[in-house]
Amino acid sequence: MTRIISFILTYIAEALIAWLYFDYIYERRRKAYLALLMYLAGYGVLFGLQFFGSVIVNIGAFFAVTTALALFGHRCKVRTAIFHAAFLTFIMAGSEILCDLIISRFGHGFADYQTNNSAMIALMASSKLLYLLLSLIGARIFSPHKRHREEPKMMILFCALPLLSSILAFVLIQTASKTELNASSGMMIVLTVFSLLIVNLLFLVLYNYIQHTNEEYLALQLSQQKEEADTAYYQALQKQADSQRILIHDMKNHLSVMDGLLESGNLKELKQYLAGLMKDPALTQKARKCSDPILNMILLRFAEECENKGIAFQCDVRENTVSFMDAPSITTLFGNLLSNAMEAAEQSEDPNIELSVTPSQDSVILSVANTCAEPPKKDETGMLLTTKADPSLHGFGLKAINRIVRRYHGDSLMRYDSEQKRFCFVIRFPLS
């Protein structure tokens, strides 16, 4: 019974270590609990195979199962999954051999773990602690994401905990190995030694959860700060537009002054007057695209960006169709919708974007349609995957859009027309 429990705890520990390793390096394909269940099921298969008693079968199965779990549970290529699975297989086998050599120094034979419970418990617990230590170091070396870099103090803590736990496990087992273990004492040793391993694993799981939560919170804060900055920017543009309207209204007076200077032959003063007038920023008046001042500034900016990138941009925003939204919501919603559309359209042939906001009975229909060369890829939750160079930006634009849709009790629909290679995002807001 002692051996069976020890093997079960060992394979659970191996599953957690492999999951933590790949979860640190790669983005998950599944939610955290689903990925963890996959790893536990995969290593459950390995637990059954160990009863064959073949070292070669166990090592080969460990490599194959780990590779498969990496591919199905995380977003990684086949060759990198094979490399990391081979690395984990190597350090796992190496940890067991090294710990077996150390245990043999305590008076046991090299293969005593097959018949002696104390040697077996010492080997399992200590080797998994060493395996955990090496996997932590490997994950930090191989991780391509700079955002995962811990401070030196945290790295020392990560390495020190498994190392100190391994030493403590060896001391405990050496003390207990002086006498043959009975059923109750053997169970006590199993629980005590494996508790060290479990504490290490729980600490890492908790730390990873806290770190992931902090990263999401920081990204959300940055997104909100950007929204506030964009709102302030468009409000400033609106003030400039107001100045333009005042200038246009006063243009009659300006023309009268210039006509008087021209008739009097005072060309020098006329040139100075014209030069001062041309410096007025209000003369950069652009076409009006909608009645809402903030949205109008957003549309003018995106129209200019699309023109610079060779993207045809058309918009039809009816009067007072966004009056139920506040300025930050308008900035967030249309800024992200148009940014995503432009990002997809510029990768396609004959790029174009069409925006329409029209009333329909008791609701407002917002539609953004853009050319898109390939169907947008989605993750396991149905969220569109980002094509940005930085994967840490994945999902935050769409989350911001969904947040505004929920705020105004709307509903949305995304669809892709494979024949026309066109993506459409439709949102309906109830006016009630």
Rounded Cα distance, 8 and 190, in Å: 11
What pLDDT score does 148 carry?
45
Rounded Cα distance, 373 and 78, in Å: 26
C-alpha torsion sign, points 387, 392, 398, 404: negative
Q: Report which secondary-structure segment, H or E, holds 313.
A: strand 312-317
pLDDT at 62 over 80: yes
How many helices (H) and strands (E) are present in the chain, helices listed first?
Answer: 11, 5
Mean pLDDT across 379-408: 64
**Residue 370 pLDDT class (50, 70, 90 cuts):** very high
Quote the percentage of the chain above a pLDDT of 90.
Answer: 10
Q: Report which secondary-structure segment, H or E, holds 427.
A: strand 422-430
pLDDT single digits (tens) 322-337: 989 988 889 889 999 9
Long-range contacts of 331-335 (CB under 8 A, 24+ apart): 331/227, 331/230, 331/231, 331/234, 331/294, 331/298, 332/227, 332/230, 332/400, 332/401, 332/403, 332/404, 333/366, 333/400, 333/401, 333/404, 333/405, 334/295, 334/298, 334/299, 335/227, 335/230, 335/298
Mean pLDDT across 9-33: 82
Q: Which two tokens stand for residue 1?
A: 């019974």
pLDDT single digits (tens) 111-165: 555 556 666 666 777 788 888 888 888 887 887 654 444 555 565 666 677 767 7
Rounded Cα distance, 153 and 131, in Å: 21
Q: What DSSP state is assigned to residue 282?
A: G
**Residue 34 pLDDT class (50, 70, 90 cuts):** confident
Rounded Cα distance, 343 and 390, in Å: 14
Q: Provide CB contacts within 8 A for 3, sequence distance 6+.
A: 117, 120
DSSP string, 347-377: TSSS-EEEEEEEEETTEEEEEEEEE-SSPPP
191 or 402, which is more confident? 402
Rounded Cα distance, 325 and 317, in Å: 14
Output the pTM of the full model: 0.49
pLDDT at 14 over 50: yes
Domain chopping of the chain, boundaries: 2-214, 293-430
pLDDT at 11 over 70: yes
CATH fold for the domain made of 293-430? Heat Shock Protein 90 (3.30.565)
- Rounded to the nearest 10 degrees, the angle between the axes of helix 78-104 and helix 2-25 is 140
Check if the beta carbon of residue 301 is closer than 8 Å to that of residue 313: no
Burial-class residue 12 by CB neighbours within 10 Å (0-12, 13-18, 19+).
Answer: buried
Q: What is the mean pLDDT of the chain?
A: 75
pLDDT at 340 over 70: yes
Rounded Cα distance, 251 and 256, in Å: 9
β-pairing, 352-360 vs 422-430, is unpaired
What pLDDT score does 199 carry?
77
User: Could you give the count of Cα atoms lying within 13 Å of 235 in the half-sphere of its Cβ?
Assistant: 10
Residue carrying the six token digits 């599953």: 15
What pLDDT score does 149 carry?
47
What pLDDT score does 225 carry?
56
**Of 1-5, 134-138, 202-206, 373-377, which gets the smallest average pLDDT?**
1-5
Collapsing DSSP to helix, strand or coil, 90 comes out as: helix
What pLDDT score does 390 carry?
45
DSSP string, 160-196: HHHHHHHHHHHHHHHHHTTS---HHHHHHHHHHHHHH
Q: Which two tokens stand for residue 348?
A: 């396609």
Residue carrying the six token digits 């009645």: 291
Check if the beta carbon of residue 358 is closer than 8 Å to that of residue 365: yes
How far is CA 174 from each of CA 96, 100, 103, 191, rounded to the nearest angstrom?
A: 17, 13, 8, 16
pLDDT single digits (tens) 151-166: 555 656 666 777 677 6
Q: Which two tokens stand for residue 168?
A: 């403590």
pLDDT at 210 over 70: yes
209 or 320, which is more confident? 320
pLDDT at 59 over 60: yes
Q: Provide CB contacts within 8 A for 115, sequence distance 6+.
A: none
List, in sequence order, every residue forming a beta bridge with 14; answer none if it has no partner: none
